[in-house]
Structure 1
Amino acid sequence: MMGLLAQKKHKAKGNQFFSRLKSIPRVANLLESKETQLIAFFCFLFFIIILRLFQLQILEYEEYNTLLSKLHYRESLLTPERGNIYALDKGGHPVKLTENITLYDLAIDPRELDGIISGSNLPMKNRFIEIVTPVLYKHLCEVNGMNPVNKTDCIKNIELFAGVNLLPKKPELFYFGSGMESPEYQSFNFEEYEKNFGKTVDQFTKEKAFELIKTKLDQKIKIGIKTQNYLGYFTEPKFLEELAQKQLPYVHIIADHYVYLEPSTMIDPGLAQATIEGLLKKWKYPIGSQFENLFKPQEWKYIKIISGLNPALAQEIRELKIKHRGELSKIERNRNSRQENTSQSKKERLIAIPVLYGLVLEPYTTRYYPYGNFMANILGYVDRGGTAYYGIEQYFDSKLKGKKGEIKGRTSAWLGNVGANEFEIQNPTNGSDIYLTVDIGLQREVERLAKEQLENVKADAIAILVTDAENGEVRASVSAPTFDPNNYNDAYTLIPLGRENREIIDNQTYIDIPVYVHTGGEYKLANLTERKQENLKKYIAKNIYGAQVFVDKNITVPFEPGSIFKAFTVAIGIDTDEMNFDERYVDEGSVKVGIYTIKNATKTCMGNHNFLHALVYSCNVGMMKIVQRVGKYVFYNYLGKLGFGELTGIELAEEKPGFIDKVNLVSMARFLNNAFGQGLTTTQIQLAAAYVALVNGGEYIKPTIIGNIIDPSNTENSYNKYQNSNKIFKSETSEQIKKGLFNVINTNPELSNANLSGQKLGAKSGTAQISFRGRYQRGEGWTNGTFAGVISTEDPRYVVNVWIRRPRKNQWGGSTAGPIFKQIAQYLLTYDL
């Protein structure tokens, strides 16, 4: 009760106070004025805003800050530099085998060329073309990317860029098989063609090139509204067939696969969109985010002019932009007064634009191999998209490409990342550098020998390994034919199979060379029947061998090794004390095993001989007698310890394990065949590692091609390579094998062309027949010629393995692969790594 009385008393006093104020005339006028009431109203609003800001920024800060971050938070990736690959020269100096090069696409926003140059009547587009043409000429006719260009290639580049024919063209000339060929071989004047070709090259001038470049640029740079919008490239024949059957007037199919849409001919764009969308979904094609825009008129905003400008030409473009920044467009007003209701109306130009303002350089990093095809099968390659294929590039891709960095933070639509404290930077980690054990000088020499012998013996392929016998390090690895990793797409370019390559289909030993036919709108690999059909046009790869050139045949292609495998059979026999070189046996010339008869290759083996004679003259029956004593369980146990049938772990992509039968499943005939290197498959790297174990005292060492891996951010972090080693043979066995190999090359006359007088070399040759349609074939073109040698038997330092696939001049490994060993030995003994 007392509280209520107090409140009434306080209120009464307040009323008395305001009454007294109102009694004052000046105060009364102030309180009753509209200005005072407005001020009071806005003060009240301001107070409400302050309260709301307090609520948002203090009380509810965390909630709204999280929401803001979700809406304006961006992560930008920072690309690391790919590590490089090195090999060492004789002096131990590193030679850089790879480069990361920035090339550029050159593009233009044609909207910036819609006008005339201020102070003249010259259109912006014409002046633009005049300025950039000399740069394009240098790209097409002097240095294309990183490749120097000769005059003939210059003309071809101009033809490709301008879409014109300049050089005389031969007709497509086909060889169909069995002497059948295109009639143009008889009617076409080849002499006149060569004459005209040379004349065209001689008479082609820089001025003519400029003219063609300018004409193409004028056609290429379009200003205004596109007549057609690009839908996509499609390969599904049934989709394209259904699309064509609908006979939609706004759909245009170009060159069988490219589909364009023409909005101006669409009566109902919504219906057109629904029709195309339904077809795409039916055939499981994705619908892009910009799909609906394809059914509306689109302005030309981006036109790519050229791709692959090198850094020097890119710098020239930058300098041209500075040089010509004073050449401005004329300021124009009310340009659209007559067309403001049309889709092609032009906005008035209120700002003067430099003539090269819309010219854009778009950088991209590409992998470059400065030595071309040198060591290509070891290196592999990286495509423009950054994907690594084959070799070191693929095997160590994760180490080479490094780790991407990123920028995380708040963004502005105009400024990107803003606020010094509003984003985090995680720097990229560049890729590691890899150093190989390969010796540059030796590798170059072995590549030369392989290329030369490939042509001499008309073989499909040659693979050579030179391995350090002390530590298992690869000093040279060659696979021929090879490829240029800077131009890897050449392997996929097809040309007509002409009379100059008639043997590919007339001679069945060329069955491994891919042949293609064009059916159903696409090229496909021809089967055996199609290869022989005389009414089919056939195609081959421009490099003859196609994608086979990418394969490192030292590690990826298992084959039957033939008689070089006999050294392992003998070593196992000696190591198990089941035989020795002086022990004699009777060779009957052949042995019947079930329904099979196994024979020697020559009659030299027949009679009473010692087992050294069996190794020297490569006697199959002698090897069979050894494994019969050893037994298959012991024999296959040794082969397993030598690494056959398993991956060696060499640091190169796509290694294959080969094939050896399981001991509990192998037949007697297969077991005896394995004794002399048939009925099983091995790789070159497996043979190299196993031969190292034969001659280095009996120790198997895991082969390696890596010398070191260095992290550029921590140069002290060297690669700690682990090379496991296992004792396979007794030291005494290894000594006996070295003596045996010395006797082989010095006693067997068939190996005389592989020996060096006065040197203690050791070797074993091999010739394995190739199976076709379930049967071993005979003669030139149907064998694997192999050779394994040691330099030298007194002090084994190097093991050399040579494999020749399908030699057609001579079928024997000693005659085809042996001379390569001799030249490598001669080089090594004088080069002395």
Structure 2
Amino acid sequence: MGRPALRLRLTFGVVALVLSLFAGRLIVLQGVDPDSYALAATKENTRPFLLHASRGAILDRNGVPFSVSEDAVAITADPTLTSKVAPQLATLLAAKVPGTKYDDLLAGLTKKGRYALLAHKVSPQIWNQIETELKARNEVIVEQNKGKAQDAKAPLLTGLYTESDPIRSHPYGTVAANVVGVVGDEGKGLAGLEYGLNDKLSGKDGKAMYEVDAKGNKIPNADHTVEEPKPGLTAQLTLDADLQWFAEKRIEQAVKQYKAESGTVIVQDVKTGELLTVANFPTYDPNKPLKGQSLKNPAIEQIYEPGSVHKIVTMAALADANKISLDTNLQVPGSIVVQRRVIKDHFPHGTLNLTIAGVIAKSSNVGTIIASKEMGVPQYVRYLKGFGFGEPTGLNYPGESRGRVPAGDEWPDLTYATVSFGQGLAVNAIQMTAAVNAVANGGVYMPPKLVKNYIDTNGNQIPNPTAPPRRVVSETAAKEVSTMMEAVTAKGGTALQAAIDGYRVAGKTGTAQQTGEGCGGRYCKWATSFAGFAPADNPRFVTYVVLQNPTNGRSGGGQGGPVFRDVMSYALQKYVVPPTGAKQPLVPLTW
């Protein structure tokens, strides 16, 4: 090594080797695989931003908003920029943003990677306060850093960002809450139509990739790619917000007055099948934190035995099959034995000579059983299916129960007897309303409708189709049953409380035993109800009222009748439906 020539050769060899390595690496970077390295560099200097699609609103039939989205933001962070100042940022955010915790924020601010979601649904006002506070603190830090060496300077409070994260708002609070439902923190529907229509309402989120500087800030005018979000559709319902509000208040009064577990009122347009009201109590306010409240819609998710309101369907089937008519007279004893089971009426009596209208007006179980013997079970089952029992309503509502009809076409005599007057089968309230509506509509079943149409961002209406109407009984049969039902609200009937001055009203009371929680599989509860339509001679609306397990009295006419009267009167007045002026037919109840 002491020889200069040898040292020169070795040095030259080492330099040549190093240069050859550099040259080889340069060839790889620029010639062999330049794209992958460019992509890696781009990824290192870009940051994804989620572009939330705007969620469609839910409106009533007149455009009144039940559920809308309001501006809010999600607070995010780039942990590569926030980890050194995480304690200060976590303290600030925990103090400003409701529902956040210091430990959770600290974990997000110091996690691995370049993206952390810290808080949902933060109002713009709160974010403005946070920005103002950050600016003030950073000005202090800059002032304190003056004159200090670079390694002694305190880091600035940076690395926080926001994304659009709208809040779901319900301007009318409890009105239609059980129907509309709620949206969760992730922006997805949790219950009701918000859940059932989530795919249509939520649209499709977009995404943007922006180049950022060393501090994670977007670089103005730098290259970026954007996948635009697709806004969701607005759903326009058939409900009337005013009538819905009135019905909810009225059923709330009834539930409290009669100390019932719950109550439901439904109003359906006879000719279109559109549901103008689906009111329940208890309900909830979706604008407030939910603490154990049920999010179900009892009108379609809860099933029960309908009781004597179901006699409307039985009589319509018998009339259509020419088994009865308004001229039918029956001798009705005080009780009847079916398979060693004694069945009585709700009032004690000896043998009565009742017309078929009298059977309905007096709500005689015994008379209904006697009349139903004229029809075989298979034929009766076909009528039940035609009226929509045991089948989905077609609303496609999440959690809907199709009810229950005894299986098969061969029933024991006791099953047939009890089903004929509304015990032994189960329905939901919308099913029962739609069945009564078929009688009001001259025997034509109109599938119930809750979503009228959808509206896109350009204001174009997209119709929401329903199943076609179907005839279930003849017009003559429907008219005969309607005439029987008018006797219910007239002198001698069971629901004088449901009569409306100036209008002809057709109705039917219901009182049914129920089983349920705490009953041990036996009957230990009751449901009282009233269903009817007006004007009876030219029906416009059907209204159905049901109270679950009232404990302060028990009467379909006395409890459901007044609610029916008030809600139906409101609907007739609002939609300017005049009395027809025709007189109620005089139908004898006895012979």
Q: Indicate whether 1:87 and 2:60 are aligned.
A: yes
Q: Indicate whether 1:618 and 2:336 are aligned.
A: no
Match in the other structure for 2:67: 97
Amino acid at match of 1:395: G
> Contact conserved, 1:785 with 1:817, CA < 8 A, in 2?
yes
> Contact conserved, 1:601 with 1:619, CA < 8 A, in 2?
yes
Residue from 453, 456, 463 that aligns with 1:711: 456
> Contact conserved, 1:632 with 1:663, CA < 8 A, in 2?
no
Q: Distance in 1 between matches of 2:278 and 2:59?
A: 15
Deviation track 1:687-740 (CA, whole Å, cap 9, x = no partner) reads 11111111111111111111111222x543623423321111111112112211
Deviation track 1:290-340 (CA, whole Å, cap 9, x = no partner) reads 8xxxxxxxxxxx999x997532233233344445654335239999xxxxx
Match in the other structure for 1:733: 477
Deviation track 1:179-235 (CA, whole Å, cap 9, x = no partner) reads xxxxxxxxxxxxxxxxxxxxxxxxxxxxxxxxxxxxxx9xx79xxxx9xx99xxxxx
Amino acid at match of 2:467: Q
Q: Distance in 2 between matches of 1:699 and 1:484?
A: 37
> Contact conserved, 2:361 with 2:494, CA < 8 A, in 1?
no
What stretches of structure 2 of length at least 5 have no aligned partner?
Answer: 577-591
Instruction: Give the TM-score taking structure 1 as reference length.
Output: 0.59
Q: Indicate whether 1:656 and 2:469 are aligned.
A: no
Q: Indicate whether 1:350 and 2:153 are aligned.
A: yes
> Contact conserved, 1:408 with 1:424, CA < 8 A, in 2?
yes
How far did 1:639 drift? 0.3
Match in the other structure for 1:528: none
> Contact conserved, 1:375 with 1:478, CA < 8 A, in 2?
yes
Q: Distance in 2 between matches of 1:324 and 1:430?
A: 38
Match in the other structure for 1:594: 339
Q: Which moved more, 1:308-317 or 1:642-651?
A: 308-317
> Contact conserved, 1:81 with 1:100, CA < 8 A, in 2?
no
Are residues 685 and 96 of structure 1, via their aligned partners in 2, closer, same or farther at CA, if it must alter by over 3 Å? closer
Q: Indicate whether 1:373 and 2:187 are aligned.
A: no
Amino acid at match of 1:811: R
Give the match's secondary structure for 2:550.
coil
> Identity over the aligned pairs, expressed in percent?
23
- Matches for 1:421-432 after TM superposition, within 5 Å: 424-432=225-233
Amino acid at match of 1:660: V
Are residues 750 and 610 of structure 1, via their aligned partners in 2, closer, same or farther at CA, if it must alter by over 3 Å? closer
Match in the other structure for 2:144: 330
Q: Which moved more, 1:581-590 or 1:441-450?
A: 581-590
Q: Indicate whether 1:78 and 2:51 are aligned.
A: yes
> Contact conserved, 2:299 with 2:430, CA < 8 A, in 1?
yes
How far did 1:371 drift? 2.2
How far did 1:593 drift? 1.5
Q: Distance in 1 between matches of 2:547 and 2:201?
A: 33
Q: Which has the larger radius of gyration?
A: 1
Residue from 674, 677, 680 that aligns with 2:422: 677
RMSD (Å) for aligned C-alpha atoms: 4.4
Amino acid at match of 1:662: A
Are residues 648 and 311 of structure 1, via their aligned partners in 2, closer, same or farther at CA, if it must alter by over 3 Å? same
Deviation track 1:432-453 (CA, whole Å, cap 9, x = no partner) reads 1111111111111111101111
Q: Distance in 2 between matches of 1:314 and 1:59?
A: 48
How far did 1:814 drift? 0.9
Give the match's secondary structure for 2:415.
helix
- Matches for 1:408-419 after TM superposition, within 5 Å: none
Q: Distance in 1 between matches of 2:117 and 2:22?
A: 51
Deviation track 1:616-644 (CA, whole Å, cap 9, x = no partner) reads 11111221122211111110100011110
Q: Distance in 1 between matches of 2:19 and 2:264?
A: 87
How far did 1:97 drift? 2.9
Residue from 280, 299, 307 that aligns with 1:554: 299
How far did 1:811 drift? 0.8
Give the match's secondary structure for 2:510.
strand
Match in the other structure for 1:397: 198
Q: Distance in 1 between matches of 2:555 and 2:202?
A: 45
- Matches for 1:200-279 after TM superposition, within 5 Å: none
> Contact conserved, 2:378 with 2:410, CA < 8 A, in 1?
no
Match in the other structure for 2:567: 824
Amino acid at match of 1:331: N
How far did 1:595 drift? 2.5
Deviation track 1:349-385 (CA, whole Å, cap 9, x = no partner) reads 32575xxx36957665432223222211011111213
Give the match's secondary structure for 1:431.
coil
> Contact conserved, 2:182 with 2:286, CA < 8 A, in 1?
yes
Amino acid at match of 2:533: V
- Matches for 1:283-362 after TM superposition, within 5 Å: 310-322=123-135, 326-328=139-141, 330-331=144-145, 349-350=152-153, 353=156, 357=157
Q: Indicate whether 1:810 and 2:557 are aligned.
A: no
Q: Which moved more, 1:362-371 or 1:792-801?
A: 362-371
Deviation track 1:265-298 (CA, whole Å, cap 9, x = no partner) reads xxxxxxxxxxxxxxxxxxxxxxxx98xxxxxxxx
Q: Distance in 1 between matches of 2:456 and 2:50?
A: 21
Give the match's secondary structure for 1:98.
strand
> Contact conserved, 1:651 with 1:706, CA < 8 A, in 2?
no
Q: Distance in 2 between matches of 1:588 and 1:701?
A: 37
How far did 1:43 drift? 9.6
> Contact conserved, 2:530 with 2:564, CA < 8 A, in 1?
yes
Q: Distance in 1 between matches of 2:38 and 2:86?
A: 44
What stretches of structure 1 of length at least 5 have no aligned partner?
Answer: 1-31, 115-123, 146-160, 162-216, 231-288, 291-301, 336-346, 492-546
Match in the other structure for 1:571: 316
Q: Distance in 2 between matches of 1:552 and 1:106?
A: 36
Q: Which moved more, 1:424-433 or 1:402-411?
A: 402-411
Are residues 750 and 48 of structure 1, via their aligned partners in 2, closer, same or farther at CA, if it must alter by over 3 Å? closer
How far did 1:613 drift? 0.8
> Contact conserved, 1:569 with 1:626, CA < 8 A, in 2?
no
Deviation track 1:596-619 (CA, whole Å, cap 9, x = no partner) reads 122222235832221111111111
Q: Distance in 1 between matches of 2:46 and 2:68?
A: 38
Amino acid at match of 2:553: N
Give the match's secondary structure for 1:670.
helix
Are residues 110 and 757 of structure 1, via their aligned partners in 2, closer, same or farther at CA, if it must alter by over 3 Å? same
> Contact conserved, 1:555 with 1:683, CA < 8 A, in 2?
yes
Q: Distance in 1 between matches of 2:456 and 2:144?
A: 56
Match in the other structure for 1:609: 354
Q: Distance in 1 between matches of 2:135 and 2:182?
A: 37
Match in the other structure for 1:8: none
Amino acid at match of 1:461: S
> Contact conserved, 1:388 with 1:394, CA < 8 A, in 2?
yes
- Matches for 1:142-153 after TM superposition, within 5 Å: none
Give the aligned length: 556
Residue from 493, 507, 520 that aligns with 1:773: 520
Are residues 391 and 763 of structure 1, via their aligned partners in 2, closer, same or farther at CA, if it must alter by over 3 Å? same
Match in the other structure for 1:742: 486
Q: Distance in 2 between matches of 1:628 and 1:730?
A: 21
Give the match's secondary structure for 1:465.
strand
> Contact conserved, 1:616 with 1:747, CA < 8 A, in 2?
no
Amino acid at match of 2:546: W
Q: Distance in 1 between matches of 2:479 and 2:38?
A: 79
Give the match's secondary structure for 2:392.
coil
Q: Distance in 2 between matches of 1:616 and 1:605?
A: 17
Q: Distance in 2 between matches of 1:57 and 1:349?
A: 40
Q: Distance in 2 between matches of 1:424 and 1:387?
A: 26
How far did 1:553 drift? 1.0
